[in-house]
Structure 1
Amino acid sequence: MVYINGAWRESNQTIDVINPATGEVIEAVASVGQKETKEAIQSAKEAFKSWKKETGEKRGEYLAKVVELMKERQAELAETITKENGKPLVDATGEVISGIKYLEWYAEEAKRVYGDTVPASHPDKRILVLRQPVGVAAAITPWNFPFSMITRKLAPALAAGCTVVLKPAPATPLSAIKVFECFHEAGIPKGVVNLVIGPAEEIGAEMTSNPDVRKITFTGSTAVGKKLLRDSADTVKKVSMELGGHAPLIVFEDADIEMAVEGVLASKFRNAGQTCISTNRVYVAENIAEEFGKKLAEKVAHLQVGNGMEEGTDVGPLINKHALEKVETHVQDAVNHGGKVLSGGKVYSNHEGQGYFYEPTVIQGATESMKIAEEETFGPVAPIFTFKTEGEVIEKANHVTYGLAGYCFTKDLSRGFRMMEELEYGIVGINDAAPITVQAPFGGVKESGMGREGGKYGLDDYLEEKLVSVNTK
């Protein structure tokens, strides 16, 4: 089903939702196109006229109602994520909790959209700066976090006073439908939130070309992000983009090796490596590389691969066959270029012989000549590179065009400060492989995107500043 102007709609066209752990079709959902997207945008435009005038407190009350409904349905929401995405149920539960926190935060932050009074250069003038909602926002969300990526966009947009048309990834539309069921039950006014599911090019083209859409927010690949930027240029839309990543994780010789190993496990193998901030390159000081690789491989070998619905599963399937083939290609290329597989290294056949599983893998002796050093693998593979000096590893860590997240493990406080300043990434974790939190800004630099989500910073991309000068003479 899709949700337009406060009502659910069916369609003659459908999309099959497949469980990546089994290859089975879970459900068929309605698929719409340009016509329905245009209707949804028009509904959002009409609803904006009144929604923008609601007090921040009132908008926050609607978000708070949604929070309560989601908390009641936490188990159902988590199971939906696992069935359509594949991640272990414990991780899916964590995603639901995280997604709800964004709604909670912005339910309060809606009351704090402050303006300014600016000192005038003339005694007969008064200068005000108003912060007002930009208008209709079109949101496009990915499959790897099908619940929290939606709430992370809807929450600040609605808190700021924008209305929204949202398109989820076709692989994981069921989580989006559950989110909108909660908004519907919370009684949010018609047209304030709208859900369209269907072909990316057709829906995206309407979103980027329609002059009534004043804001595009997207999470996904850099290639698609660049296309959306180009297509949005003709109508000069406000845009925020959270794009691809290629995160380095640096382990200096003075680091706590056990802590660093746990950091790689947490950053690399969560969601089978299918997160934008997953570690892609592990740089280890040359004199501890052998010890580090051995310890990491031992830990990785004990990770349990399987259906996310089964208790004890650590690593679930990749999202589809294409993703599995990409991981296979990267590992084979690494081996062809002299890499040594310490753990894993092949497709994992589960007891049912179905699904898109790959063994959690550690590769020693990685080099810059490998595909894995340049391309985002988006899978459970940790390649270990070595370095000799701090200057060398900074250069290697920064050489890619991406700049989303980077990590560093060291006991040297001075070095830690140097690294946080030198690493060209929007997010840097020092002895911390899980730096993301609702009250802090999330986003990248270079070709990893623009704009920020989270905390007070997340409102900025949905607001415009308006100068008002009053002559009091």
Structure 2
Amino acid sequence: MAAQQRTNYCNGEWVESESTETFTVTNPADQSVIAEFPKSTAADAERAVQAAVDAQDAWANTPGPERGAILRRAAGLLEDRADDVAETLTREEGKALAEASGEVQRAVDILYYYAEKASDLAGDAKAPSGRDSRLRTVTEPVGVVGLITPWNYPIAIPTWKAAPALAAGNAVVLKPASQAPTVVHELTKCLDEAGLPDGVFNVVTGSGSEVGGTITSHEAIDAISFTGSSAVGEIVRDSASETGARIQLEMGGKNPAVVTSSADIDEAVDIVGSGAFGVTGQACTATSRAIVHESVYEEFVDGLVEYAENLEIGPGLEADMGPQVTESELEGTLEYIEVGNEEGATLETGGGVPDLDADGHYVEPTVFSDVESSMTIAQEEIFGPVVSVIPVSDFDEAVAIANDSQYGLSASVITDDLSQANRFVDDVEAGVVKINEKTTGLELHVPFGGMKNSSSETWREQGDAGLDFFTTSKTVYLNY
């Protein structure tokens, strides 16, 4: 069957790229073709930016409740199509269907959430110091925004960036990841059918250097929100500094889960296992390091090995753990496993390609023990289902090793000791801290972001913090 031909979305229309070149999106479970997308040019990105510029003032002047009503209609449309969109997500990205369904529902919930928030963006009244006067603030959109999103949450992350941007009255240009852009098109269809005005939301597919580079360096872009690798994030930061655009960068992670001597080990195994192997380990918040007190170390390792070996690997429509998204991602994971062996860590289970009757990018869930914090597999982000188990002799050592990383995104402690739980919250260097919960999984109404090389440490995403990034304010003094 011929691949479905997709186009860009610009100024309220599905339009052909100026380029005749395309790229193919394939199912990582079996290499079947999902669709073909335009390998767009800088001119295509320029056209999308101009459409957003032309639409910006009218959208900013649209009453907040009216903007919210459009987001609410889009949420309902996406909710009606959730099963089909989830299956599409699994086919193009690879994650298990239950995980894909949860992600699509998250996008629905985000749209509903910001639909309501759109009515509350007028500003605040303040008490003036003098008589016969009024003092207030006025909230306004920042302008035209560029969004660059990753493949691992290909509908949730675009939605949690686009929804607050649109709710606040900004016009948007979005470049989705080339590995999994199809579900962004499904989101776009919902926004279009919900009545979003022409030019307010634009989608351009293509390379990061050509399309992404045009967006991030464009003088008309007022703010840039990026999620992806730290290396690319630094390029985005440098580009934005040339134009003065506001930036929001969410990047890598090397997330620790500390297991204390008081922890319920069965619970700890479930928490670490789901955090490490869920979504095939392809999450910036995935649990990558288990830092375990020596008194429960062997019991924990045995339990985690059993957890990994009981996972069913296969196509995401059928199994517990699907493939990695591309061959290059699989090769990168296998290279890190080889490095772990060479550096002297003990490979407890996994480490190879499973023997499956499928031509996909599969890797076994992998557990290393006897890992030292200085080892490469304990320092560099792997972005695959690999967890390093590190023994420690006390709680202070555990926290020190948790902080021994260039990253600081998410961290967890599993303990029945209230004192240690609170000390962990105080001392760990992470933007998201969890007690007796896995490092993955986020509530949509609270801030999300990291520290150190995990983030620009400027504005957080989600909740009211997500709106802060996409708005600016005026202070109004009235003397009557």
TM-score of the two chains, using structure 2 as the length reference: 0.95
Q: Which of 85, 96, 100 is the matching residue for 2:108? A: 100
- Which one of 288, 291, 303 corresponds to residue 283 of structure 1? 291
Unaligned runs of 5+ in 1: none
Q: Is 1:182 aligned to residue 190 of structure 2?
A: yes
**TM-superposition CA deviations, 1:308-336 (whole Å, max 9, x none):** 122xx111111112211221121122122
2:442 — aligned with what? 436
Deviation for aligned residue 1:393: 1.3
CA distance in 1, matches of 2:73, 2:21: 33
Partner residue of 2:90?
A: 82
**How far apart in 1 are the matches of 2:300 and 2:290?**
10
Matched, 1:403 2:408: yes
- SS of residue paired to 2:98: helix
Within 5 Å, which residues of 2 pair with 1:188-227? Answer: 188-227=196-235
Q: For residues 448-459 of structure 1, what are the structure 2 equivalents within 5 Å? A: 448-449=454-455, 450=457, 451-459=459-467
Name the aligned partner's letter for residue 281 of structure 2: G
1:469 positional shift: 2.8
Residue 6 in structure 1 maps to residue 12 in structure 2: yes
Q: Are positions 1:336 and 2:342 aligned together?
A: yes
Asked if 1:257 corresponds to 2:265, the answer is yes
Q: Which moved more, 1:369-378 or 1:132-141?
A: 369-378
| In 2, Cα distance between equivalents of 1:197 and 1:126 | 48
Aligned to 2:162: 154
- Check if 1:364 corresponds to 2:369: yes
Alignment map for 1:55-70 (pairs within 5 Å): 55-70=63-78
- 1:368: how far off? 2.3
Within 1, Cα distance between the matches of 2:374 and 2:410? Answer: 22
Alignment partner for residue 424 of structure 1, among 422, 429, 446?
A: 429
Query: Cα distance, 1:394 vs. partner?
Result: 1.1
The answer to whether the 8 Å contact 1:337/1:369 transfers is: no
Question: What CA distance in whole angstroms lies between the structure 1 residues aligned with 2:239 and 2:135?
Answer: 36
Are the counterparts in 2 of residues 349 and 357 from structure 1 also a CA contact under 8 Å?
no
Q: Which moved more, 1:24-33 or 1:78-87?
A: 24-33
Code of the residue aligned with 2:419 in structure 1: it is S
More moved, 289-298 vs 17-26: 17-26
TM value normalised by structure 1: 0.96
Q: Distance in 2 between matches of 1:208 and 1:435?
A: 29
1:447 maps to which residue? 453
Write the mapping of 1:13-162 to structure 2, written as runs, cut at 5 A: 13-123=21-131, 126-162=134-170
The SS at the match of 1:266 is helix
Deviation at 1:116, TM superposition (A): 2.6
SS in 2 for 1:448: coil
Structure 2 gaps of 5+ residues are: 1-6
* Partner secondary structure for residue 292 of structure 1: helix
Instruction: Supply the distance in 2 between the matched residues of 1:95 and 1:342 (Cα, whole angstroms).
Output: 31
d(CA) in 2 for partners of 1:201 and 1:349? 37
Distance in 1 separating the partners of 2:38 and 2:365: 35
Alpha-carbon distance in structure 1 between the residues aligned to 2:374 and 2:69: 54
Shift of 1:119: 3.8
Deviation beyond 6 Å, 4+ runs, structure 1 = none
Give the aligned length: 469
Task: Decide which of 335, 338, 355 is 1:349's aligned counterpart.
Answer: 355
* Match among 320, 327, 331 for residue 326 of structure 2: 320
Deviations 1:33-89 (A, max 9, x none): 211111111111111111111111111100011111111111110111111101111
1:100 CA drift (Å): 0.9
- The offset of 1:122, in angstroms, is 4.7
Q: 1:386 aligns with which of 380, 391, 408?
A: 391
1:330 and 1:179, CA in 2 relative to 1: closer, same or farther beyond 3 A?
same
CA distance in 2, matches of 1:340, 1:24: 36
Counterparts of 1:349 and 1:37, CA distance in 2: 43
Give the Cα–Cα distance (whole angstroms) in 1 for the partners of residues 327 and 388 of structure 2.
Answer: 22
**Structure 1 vs Structure 2: percent identity of aligned residues?**
38
CA distance in 1 between partners of 2:226 and 2:129 (Å): 41
Say if 1:452 and 1:228 are closer, same or farther in 2 by CA, change over 3 A.
same
For the residue of structure 1 that corresponds to 2:247, the secondary structure is strand
